[in-house]
Structure formats: structure tokens, C-alpha cells
């Protein structure tokens, strides 16, 4: 019997124009490893930050001791500059996978997914977990504070603590879904150029500086 060669299968595409085989969910080991390293860095840095005089971590409200000035200087000089890239790397990874998810489910599904995966944890942290843990910290430090006071007296009010990045990522994701639902992603599609990224970085830096004049990170 003579076997006839089978014609190559015609690739199927989803409604976003992405090949279906690439739209399937699968793990990328390198990305998972990078995220594990970044998460480890965040945990270690915040553990140190609670005992640094420079503050920046709410535990310094009840800290009992601080590290010696020389040790703090060395830690800040060695580890501090890496803080400029860690959270940015997380946002960059999220942005890399956002177009694929958008193409796979469309703006509506993308927005619902982000509200569930980002909005629910952020709301739980905002309304319960963070004020509860700060209440525990103040009580452990011997301060007579009720949970209601710990909830109302956060500065700023409705502070979500370390979950602030969930809020930022949620708003950016919903804006991205709106951008696609209005068709602007097709009308304003431009090739990515190096100078675009440069000007984008400058604009973000200037905007961040101006915003912080009215809304300081630490009051």
C-alpha cells in the first residue's frame, strides 16, 4: 500500500489573529523562575526595611529597634538601587502577556478576569487583611488600639499596604481593555521604536515627580 504524504495542517487562528496553538495556556519556566527571584527579593527587602531608619514600610510605626547606621548605609547602598527595577520588571512581565490574553478572550473577558484576579485580592487587603495585621502589630507593641481605629486611622485612608501594586495593575488593565474595546489599538498601531521608549520613560518620570508634589509617598 502506498502512503500519500499528508498536506500540512492549516493553522487555526482565534479572533485576535493569534495562532490557536500559541494561545493555549502553558507555563514558561524561565518566567516563573524570574518571578520567584523577584518575589524573594521583595520579601527580603521588606523584612529589612522594617528595621531601617529610612522607613518606607508601615512596620516602622511600631518598630522596637533599628539597624546600626553603618549597616543601614551598606544595605541601602547595595540593595537600594535594585528597587528601581524590581516592580517595573513585574509590570513589564504582565504587559508582555496582556496582548495574548486580550486576543484570546477579547476586552470583556480580559476585564472580568482582571477584576477577579486583581480586584478581589486588592479589596480583601484594603478592607480586612491589612488593617487587621496593623491592628495586631500595634496591640503587640502594647498600644490600646481597636480594629476600627486601625482601619479608620490609616494614612492615607483605605490604605492597602503592600497590595498597592494590585490597584495600579488593575487600573492599567481596565484602561487597556477600554483602549481595545474602542478600537484604538488598531487605529493607532505604531512600530515600536527605541526613542518611543525613551520619551515614554521621560514622560513617566516627569509625571511621577509632579504627582508626588501633591501626593507624597510618605507624609
pLDDT tens for 14-49 read 444 444 444 455 788 999 999 999 999 988 888 888
Give the residue carrying C-alpha cell 515600536: 192
pLDDT tens for 61-119 read 777 778 888 888 888 888 878 878 888 888 889 888 898 889 888 999 999 999 999 99
d(CA 217, CA 32) in angstroms, rounded, equals 30
Residue 58, burial from CB neighbour count under 10 angstroms (0-12, 13-18, 19+) = buried
d(CA 64, CA 68) in angstroms, rounded, equals 13
Largest CA distance in the chain: 89
pLDDT tens for 165-195 read 899 999 999 999 999 888 877 766 667 778 8
Instruction: Tell me the domain boundaries of the chain.
Output: 28-183
Amino acid at each position: 500500500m502506498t502512503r500519500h504524504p499528508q498536506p500540512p495542517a492549516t493553522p487555526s487562528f482565534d479572533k485576535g489573529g493569534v495562532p490557536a496553538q500559541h494561545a493555549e495556556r502553558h507555563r514558561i519556566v524561565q518566567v516563573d523562575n524570574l518571578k520567584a527571584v523577584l518575589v524573594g527579593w521583595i520579601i527580603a527587602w521588606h523584612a529589612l526595611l522594617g528595621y531601617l531608619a529610612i522607613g518606607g514600610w508601615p512596620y516602622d510605626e511600631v518598630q522596637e529597634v533599628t539597624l546600626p547606621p553603618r549597616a543601614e548605609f551598606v544595605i541601602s547602598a547595595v540593595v537600594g538601587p535594585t528597587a528601581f527595577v524590581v516592580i517595573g520588571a513585574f509590570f513589564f512581565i504582565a504587559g508582555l502577556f496582556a496582548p495574548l490574553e486580550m486576543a484570546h478572550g477579547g476586552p470583556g473577558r480580559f476585564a472580568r478576569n482582571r477584576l477577579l484576579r486583581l480586584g478581589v485580592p486588592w479589596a480583601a487587603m484594603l478592607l480586612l487583611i491589612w488593617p487587621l495585621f496593623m491592628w495586631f502589630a500595634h496591640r503587640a507593641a502594647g498600644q490600646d488600639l481597636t480594629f476600627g481605629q486601625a482601619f479608620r486611622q490609616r494614612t492615607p485612608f483605605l490604605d492597602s499596604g503592600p497590595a498597592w501594586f494590585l490597584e495600579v495593575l488593575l487600573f492599567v488593565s481596565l484602561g487597556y481593555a477600554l483602549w481595545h474595546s474602542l478600537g484604538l489599538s488598531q487605529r493607532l498601531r505604531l512600530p515600536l521604536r527605541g526613542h518611543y521608549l525613551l520619551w515614554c520613560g521621560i514622560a513617566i518620570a516627569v509625571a511621577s515627580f509632579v504627582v508626588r508634589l501633591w501626593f507624597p509617598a510618605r507624609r
